[in-house]
Structure 1
Amino acid sequence: MVRRFRGESHHKVDTKGRVSIPASFRRVLESGDPNWTEGLNPELVIVYGSDKRQYLECFTMEAIDDVERRIEKLPRGDKRRKALQRLYNTQSILTSVDETGRLVLSAKLRDKLDLAGMAFFAGNGDTFEIWKPETYDVEMDADLEADDDFDPEADASVYLDGEEGL
C-alpha cells in the first residue's frame, strides 16, 4: 500500500532550526524509504529550488527516485533535462528525520523562506511542502483567483472528473 501525505499543520521552529514533522508524515517517510527499518531514521530529499520558489518540497526516497527516472528519460543536453537536474539534484539536500521526529532546517533554508517561529506543513499526496504560514496564505489565495475555467467559490470536488460542474 502506498501511503500519501495528507493534511496541514503548524509547527514551531526553534532557534536551531528544528521542527517536528507531523506524525502521519513520518509514517509516510518511513514507508517510502526502502532502507528504513525499525530503529533507523527515515531519509528524505528537500528541494529548495531557486529564489522564485517560496517553499520547501519534501520527497520520500521512492518519490525522488521516480522523479530521477523520469528526468533520465530525457535526452542528455536537453534544456528541460538540465533545468530538472538543477532543481531536483543541485537545489536539494538529502537529510533524515532525527530520533525525536524532527527535521533540522539549515540557516540557508530558513533564510530562504524567512522562516522563524512557525512553519506550515501542507500534504500533497506524494510530497509535502513547508512554508512560512503567511506566505502560504497569500500564495494559495493568488493561485485560486477566478478565471474562465475555475470558480474559487465552488466545492473543488466538482473538478474530479475533469468537469467544471457548470
Structure 2
Amino acid sequence: MSKIETRLAELGLALPEVAAPVAAYVPAIAMNGRALTSGQLPFVSGQLPATGKVGAEVSLEQAQQLAATSVLNALAAIKQEIGDLDRITRVVKVVVFVASAPQFTQQPLVANGASELLGQIFGDRGQHVRSAVGVAVLPLDAPVELELEVGYQ
C-alpha cells in the first residue's frame, strides 16, 4: 500500500473503483509529468448520494462532503493512469463546479471540502490554485463536479 493510501486509511477513507464515464471521454490522462482528470462526480458505489442544487435541496455541509468524495474519485482515476499516488509531487489545480440555487453564493466554501481533504492527504504538496464556479445544472443533477490536476514523477 502506498504512503498516500496509508494516509487515506488513517483518515478513515479509501480509494473507490474508478467511476465509469457517463459520456464519450476518459476519466484521466497523464503525460509529461502532469495528470488531469475529467469532471468527477461524487459517485459512491456507482450512485450519487444526493442530487439537486446547493442552497436548496443540498446543504453547504453536504456539498462540502460531496466535493471531498469527488476528490477521492479523481485520485482513483489518477492512480489508474500513473500507477502509484506516491508519484504525485504536487496538487496543481482544483476546479469545483457547484450546481447552485439562485441565491447561493458560497461556492468557495463548498470547494473547501475538496481543498481541505487534499491538504490532509498531501500536506504542503496539497496546496493548489483553485476555481469555484456556480453553475445552473450539472450532469445527472449532481450538486458538485470536480476537476483535478497534479504533477507527478
What's the TM-score bracket when you normalise by the shorter of the two chains? under 0.3
Structure that is richer in helix per residue: 2
Q: With structure 1 as the length reference, what TM-score do the two structures score?
A: 0.25
Q: With structure 2 as the length reference, what TM-score do the two structures score?
A: 0.26
